[in-house]
Amino acid sequence: MGNLTGKTALVTGASRGIGRAIAEKLGYAGALVAVHYATGADAAAEVAESIEKDGGRAFTVKAELGVPGDVDVLFEGLERGLKERTGATDLDILVNNAGVMAMGAPEEVTPEMFDRMMAVNAKAPFFIVQRALSVMPDGGRIINVSSGLTRVASPDQVTYGMSKGALEQIALHFSRHLGSRRITVNSVAPGSTDNGSALFQIPEVRETLSQLSTFGEVAEPAAIADVVAFLASEDARWITGAFIDASGGTLLG
């Protein structure tokens, strides 16, 4: 498409699933993409290679999120990669996609589980945004991948839902804070999306998850990537602070 030609982007958790689809979509649209991963170097390299095979540009950045020093490690790798390829460290598009999930009854949640999900899903994105603002030009884009579980009850995922609810507050408050710089900040909430997990290969499970959507299907990651790419484009310049329901109608009630 080329509507992001000349832009730079960072996608966290981009080695598989929704993150991979987003990274590939932004690369196809012309952006230079930093493919972040915590583990799975080979998978991340495969994503970068797929972008470059399609005529785009990409590089990988390793950083474990949710641990002390995570943002420093992430941005050291990001800025080094950008500098090598563009001569500058400007970051035009930030997609906070990385996240962790643990399922279990509320009575089974431990302090360690709770802290881990909050650290990766809410704390890390906040400080990534904070750090990104020092290298993001006016008119930049910040997109946070949330979840439909902030709007529907699923007791065995209460902590995950809480962490994503906290993530959504970044769009609400930072969009007002950054309006004068024309930096937009938005949340995208997928529903059941095939992230490559073996769970989606079980016919009975897939059928159950399919019925959550008004379309009667499980989403493919590309469907979410298309929404993110739109928000990253100039076409979405007048959308900020928004919660975008990309759940395929799961949240209709």
pLDDT in tens, 72-111: 999 999 999 999 999 999 999 999 999 999 889 999 999 9
**Furthest C-alpha separation in the chain:** 52
Q: Determine whether the annotation assigns residue 24 to a binding site.
A: no
Does the annotation mark 37 as catalytic? no
**pLDDT > 80? residue 1:** no
Q: Determine whether the annotation assigns residue 97 to a binding site.
A: yes
- The DSSP element (H or E) to which 59 belongs, if any, is strand 57-62
Q: Determine whether the annotation assigns residue 160 to a binding site.
A: yes
The pLDDT of residue 210: 92
What mean pLDDT comes out for the span 135-160? 96
E strand segments, 91-213? 93-96, 141-145, 184-190
Which token pair is 5?
Answer: 């030609």
pTM over 0.85: yes
The pLDDT of residue 199: 79
Catalytic residue, chosen from 59, 75, 160, 174, is 160
What is the C-alpha R_g of the chain?
A: 17
Work out the pLDDT band at 19, boundaries 50, 70, 90: very high
Q: Determine whether the annotation assigns residue 249 to a binding site.
A: no
**31, 4 in Cβ contact below 8 A?**
yes
The pLDDT of residue 205: 86
What mean pLDDT comes out for the span 167-176? 98
Burial (CB count within 10 angstroms: exposed 0-12, middle 13-18, buried 19+), residue 75: buried
240: Cα separation from own chain's centroid: 16
Give the whole-number percent of the chain exceeding pLDDT 70.
100
Q: Which class in CATH covers the domain with range 8-245?
A: alpha beta
**pLDDT > 60? residue 27:** yes
Q: Determine whether the annotation assigns residue 108 to a binding site.
A: no
Work out the pLDDT band at 117, boundaries 50, 70, 90: very high
Neighbours of 169 (CB within 10 A): 13
Q: Determine whether the annotation assigns residue 3 to a binding site.
A: no
